[in-house]
């Protein structure tokens, strides 16, 4: 049997294993499957494309998933891993100095950062989040700029072209950004094009930018890569990610900071 015929004969076995792992874990990554089967990443991509065309999985950045690539509403996410997000918030707040201009992205982890900023003096807060703006405007010695745009009722935040334009009007000392996932190959990805673009712009324009990702985001696969995430100074987490993930991320630039 030729190498080509042998490759085709083994394909159904790979397909079965890919589907088995999806059923067990909810997502699979191209890199880990290529290593497991000792084949090229391109071979795994072809396998996944074949299964996607049959409606058996959804392709996402870096792999495939069974779940729909949409993020739960803010009210649901606010109940998840509150302790871990509070630890991230404390670590983030320790990086903020009095008098800074701070961008706070929308999301429940950045809301934890907002709560941890209590006691800081003379901050200027820029945010797209209604929840964060409302909380911070009630604090003493804080100025708040709500960045405008159409309001996403699930995210409770401004989105769209107007919000993207507003991001560029401010000189930001430090930015804390959300994200959909930290992929197995050390990339920060997102659920929506608008979210990915806004986070990309802020990572590139803030004097220092940090992504804040709790451990539920480790190894997940979401559809869109956040361009220029490599320009961020770091990623603040509540628990150490797997060593291979940390190594892959830090090779790209951002350092991992574990909150306590």
Say if CB 142 and CB 123 are below 8 A apart. yes
Helix, coil or strand: residue 258: strand
Put the strands of the sheet holding 58-60 in their side by side order: 27-29, 63-65, 58-60
Taking CA 254 as the corner, what is the angle to CA 61 and CA 230, rounded to the nearest 5 degrees? 50
Residue of 84, 33, 62, 105 whose CA lies nearest to 241:
84
Which pTM was predicted?
A: 0.73
Is residue 121 a contact partner of residue 141, using CB atoms and an 8 Å limit? yes
pLDDT digits (tens, 9 = 90+) for 95-141: 999 999 999 999 999 999 999 999 999 999 999 999 999 999 999 99
pLDDT over 90 (residue 230) = yes
Q: What is the pLDDT of residue 197?
A: 92
Listed in sequence order, the residues at least 6 apart from 25 whose beta carbon sits closer than 8 Å to its beta carbon are none
Name residue, tokens 């709500």.
146
Q: Averaged over 4-22, what is the pLDDT?
A: 74
Contact by Cβ (8 Å): 186, 23: no
What's the pLDDT at 11?
A: 86
Q: Which residues pair with 152 in a beta bridge?
A: 157
* pLDDT for 202 beyond 70: yes
E-only strand ranges, the chain: 27-29, 58-60, 63-65, 101-104, 123-127, 142-146, 150-152, 157-159, 174-177, 181-182, 188-190, 208-212, 224-225, 234-237, 255-258
Alpha carbon distance 76, 67 (integer Å)? 17
Q: What is the pLDDT of residue 2?
A: 38
Rounded Cα–Cα distance for residues 200 and 231 (Å): 9
71 compared with 245, residue with greater pLDDT: 245
pLDDT tier, 3 (very low <50, low <70, confident <90, very high otherwise) = very low
The per-residue pLDDT for 4 is 45
pLDDT tens digits for range 17-69: 888 888 777 788 999 999 999 999 999 999 998 888 776 777 888 888 765 44
Identify which has the larger pLDDT, 9 or 157: 157
């Amino acid at each position: 049997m030729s190498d080509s015929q042998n490759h085709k004969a083994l394909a159904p076995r790979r397909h079965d294993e890919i589907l088995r792992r999806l059923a067990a874990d909810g997502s699979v990554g191209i890199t880990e499957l290529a290593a497991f089967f000792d084949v090229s990443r391109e071979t795994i991509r072809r396998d996944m494309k074949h299964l996607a065309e049959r409606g058996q999985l959804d392709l996402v950045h870096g792999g495939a998933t069974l779940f729909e690539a949409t993020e739960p509403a803010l009210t649901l996410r606010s109940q998840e891993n509150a302790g871990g997000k509070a630890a991230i918030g404390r670590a983030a707040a320790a990086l903020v100095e009095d008098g800074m201009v701070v961008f706070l992205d929308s999301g429940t982890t950045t809301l934890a950062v907002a709560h941890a900023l209590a006691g800081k003096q003379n901050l200027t807060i820029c945010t797209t989040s209604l929840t964060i703006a409302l909380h911070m405007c009630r604090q003493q010695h804080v100025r708040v700029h709500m960045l405008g745009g159409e309001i996403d009722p699930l995210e409770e935040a401004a989105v769209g072209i107007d919000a993207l334009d507003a991001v560029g009007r401010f000189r930001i000392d430090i930015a804390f950004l959300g994200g959909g996932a930290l992929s197995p190959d050390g990339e920060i990805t997102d659920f929506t094009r608008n979210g990915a673009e806004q986070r990309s712009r802020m990572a590139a324009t803030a004097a220092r930018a940090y992504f804040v990702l709790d451990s539920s985001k480790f190894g997940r696969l979401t559809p869109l890569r956040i361009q220029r995430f490599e320009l961020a100074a770091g990623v603040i987490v509540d628990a150490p990610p797997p060593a291979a993930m940390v190594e892959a991320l830090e090779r790209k630039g951002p350092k991992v900071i574990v909150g306590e």
